[in-house]
Structure formats: C-alpha cells, structure tokens
Amino acid sequence: MSSEKAELKLWGGRFTGKTDPLMDLYNASLPYDQKMYNADLDNSKYYTEGLLKVGLLNQEELSEIHRGLEIIRGEWKSGSFVEKQGDEDIHTANERRLGEIIGRHIAGKVHTGRSRNDQVATDMRIYCREALESLSQILRDLIGAILQRAESELDVLMPGYTHLQRAQPIRWSHWLNLYASYFTEDFKRLQQIKERLNVSPLGSGALAGHPYGIDREYIAGKLGFNGCIGNSLQAVSDRDFVVEILFWCSLFMNHVSRFSEDLIIYSTAEFGFVKLSDAYSTGSSLMPQKKNPDSLELLRGKSGRVFGSLSGFMMSLKSIPSTYNKDMQEDKEPLFDALTTVEHSILIATGVISTLDINKEKMFNALTMDMLATDLADYLVRKGVPFRETHHISGEAVSKAEKLNLSGIDKLTVDQFKEIDERFSSDVADVFDFEVSVERRTAIGGTAKSAVLQQIENLKSQLV
C-alpha cells in the first residue's frame, strides 16, 4: 500500500490518496453505532465458528479470536475501550483492536468471506431484537399499572366525551381500559415485528453470497435467529425492519400523546379530575401558584420527534437502488433516537399513571342529567317504541326542560313527560341514575362492572 492511512481502512487497498478529513468525519458512524458493540462481537464470535467448520480457521486460531473478542467486550463494558483515528464504525474499531490484542495475522482472518454489508445488517437485527424485548418488558409494566388502577377504582364514575363535549356517563376504569387496550395492541405488534426481523443476513457477503460454503443456518442458530434470509441481495439491503420499528414507535407515541392530552385536560382547574404527582410536574418561573403537567406535555411533544425519525428515514430509503448503498447508514441515528425516546416515554407514562391522584367527587359532579337523554330514549324502546321515534321524543324532553329553565330533564314532572308522549309513566324517574345507566351496558366492551372486569381479564391474558 502506498498510504499508511489507506492500510488502516478495511476498504483501503484500492486507494492511494488520503481522504479529506471532513469526509472521514462525515463517513464515521462510531459515535452512535458503538452501542451495537455486543451484537458485533457476537457476530464475529459465531461467524468465526462457521469459518472453523469449513476449515478456514483452526481451533487454536478460533480460541485466540474468542479470547480477544471477550477482552474487547470487557473494555466496552467498563468504558475503557480507546477509540483511534481510522475507527469509522463499530466493526472497524473492534477488528482494529482485535489485531492489537492477538496479532493482525490471526485477526485478519475474521473477515474472510464477510462484508461490512452483511455484518452491519446482522448487528442491526441483533440489536433491534434485544431492544424490542426490553421495550416489551417495560410496556407490559405500563399496561399492568393501568389495569391495576382500573381494578382498584372500579366504582368511580365520570363523563365520557365525544367532540370534547360531555356525552354519556362511564367508569373511570373504562377510560383506563381504553389506553390499556391501545397499549396492548402495541405490545402485540411489537412481538410480531420482533418475530419478522429475527432472520439472519450473515453469510451473504457484500451482495452475491459466500464463496466458501459457510453454514449460514448454523451461524443463524448460534446468534438466536429463527432462520436465514434466502436472497443475498435482500439480506444486505433490506431495512424494512427499521421502517417497521420506526412506524411502531410512531404509532405508540401517537397513543401516548392522546393519553397525555386527556390527562392534561383532566388536570386543569376547569376539570380537576386528576392531580399529577410533584415528581412529574414543574412550576412556573414567574407564577408561584402554577403546577404544570410538563411530563405529559413532553410525552405529547416528543411524539413529533419520533414521527420525524420515521418520515426522515423513509425519504432516505425511498430511491436507493439495489443493493447496499451508503445512504443506509442513515438508519441508525433515527432508529436509536426513536427507541431511546420511546423507552423513556414508557417509563415516564408508567410513573405518571402510577402516582397521580383522582378527585372522585369532581368526576361525579361533572355528570349532568342531560347525559342520560339516550337512557330516556332507551326507556321507551323497552316499551316497544322504535328507537328512531324515541330519539326524537327524548330530544323534545331536553328542549322542554331548557325552555322551562329547569336544571335538567330529570326535573320534568310525570305530567310534563306525558305532554310530550303518553307512553311515559311514573317509572320514568328510574332513568335518572348514573350508576344504573352504566350498569345497563353489560355487553362486551360496555361500562357495567362485569363488562369492565372482563376487559381487564382479557387484556391481562394478552400480555403473557
């Protein structure tokens, strides 16, 4: 080689001139892909076992390589790994350090038949698999915290809203189950993505496959994969699993944002339904009376950050020709940032829901009798009147109460109800009971205690 710097690069043999220092910086990914060090070391560990099987390494060489890899793992873990100029990425850094420990002659055999193209694709899948497993565990905790509240606060009634207008009475537990349901669907999607991405690209080379007949299935099994990607071109260039994860992160953060918005509204003085713990609130630098729901606002705000990661990477990916292109290096920063943001968001949301206080009296006092207008219509349905007719009759009752300046339709007398429709009788008074209203809705997904408890048990069963 005519350049010492070129000699240090994995790809340097073709080049005789030095790289622009800015290009070195622009090209480097070690500052963010070093978090894949464990995946990369496992990649090399089991790939070299595959090289042993086809006679490209002997047992003594394999033992030395494995010894060196574990030393490097310890250095990364302890924070003592020393990065050097020329360490473009985690793969280059690990291979350079391995040569320093066991000698470049043996270390130089590690990359036989392997390209950074299949190496990075494998590292990414290993890293993502482990990250999704970690997210699954803490997401399960968030759902569990919501369901625990739903069980313990089953008797609390509150208004349910459509168009942010009071609509019908519901249980607070029913509202909690709403978001437990969203997050449970997110949990299930996470398992599906983890299953789909768990196939190995390793042994595909740069794009055309492996020239030494390496046992890809053996290596895949050792690395915990369920099988191999069947086409070497796809193996090195597929980043659909990154898009899926970023989409999952975006959808989850959309759910978290809506969850946060509800609680922000419910925590205002105008509502007063919930009160956040001091641990998840901040004050104002000017107004000492303020208690701001900053945790919830950050959850809502960070959703935009994650959405941006998805849309940005999609724009990077959309016009890349086959197979591997350097554009794909842009997968890591948005992915890692989104995964970190989601992890922190789950933990914050779990803390918020576990520690907030509810004001049962304010929730109940926010219920108004006009919210039972549908129950009034249902009263006549039970007497055989078609619903379309009863809906109109109930509307007349609401209008009559307003015209008479009554505080609610429950203040109409039986005679006044009969003026609207003769089929009303004295038992109409039984309609105006919020607990009776929610308890009538016993069908699956309803607000009756039995239905709410069934929802809770169904959700628990999906988290195993």
Catalytic residues: 163, 284
What are 290's two structure tokens? 């303020």
Residue 136, Cβ neighbours under 10 Å: how many? 17
Contact 159, 170 (CB under 8 A): yes
* Contact of 350 with 137, CB cutoff 8 Å: no
Q: Can you tell me the distance from the alpha carbon of 204 to that of 235, in angstroms, rounded to the nearest whole number?
A: 7
Q: How far is CA 196 from CA 116, 127, 193, 461, 462, in A?
A: 22, 14, 5, 23, 19
Compute the distance between CA of residue 36 and CA of residue 72 in angstroms, rounded to an integer. Answer: 13
Q: How far apart are CA 242 and CA 116, in angstroms?
A: 18
The C-alpha angle 123, 125, 126, rounded to 5 degrees, equals 65
Q: Can you tell me the distance from the alpha carbon of 57 to that of 438, in angstroms, rounded to the nearest whole number?
A: 72
Work out whether strand 274-275 and strand 157-162 pair parallel, antiparallel, or are unpaired. Answer: unpaired
Indicate the length of the chain as a whole number: 464
Q: Which amino acid type is present at position 284?
A: S
Distance CA 439, CA 436 (A): 5
Question: How many whole angstroms separate alpha carbon 195 and alpha carbon 14?
Answer: 40
Rounded distance, CA 455 to CA 170, Å? 14
Distance CA 129, CA 125 (A): 6
Strands, E assignment, 217-325:
274-275
Running DSSP on this structure, what letter comes out for residue 386?
-
Name the residue among 6, 227, 293, 241 with its Cα closest to residue 129. Answer: 241
What whole-number distance in Å separates Cα of residue 361 and Cα of residue 366?
A: 9
Q: Which residues of 35-71 are buried (b: 16+ CB within 10 A; e: fewer)?
A: bbbbbbbbbbbbbbbbbeeeeebeeebbebbbebbee
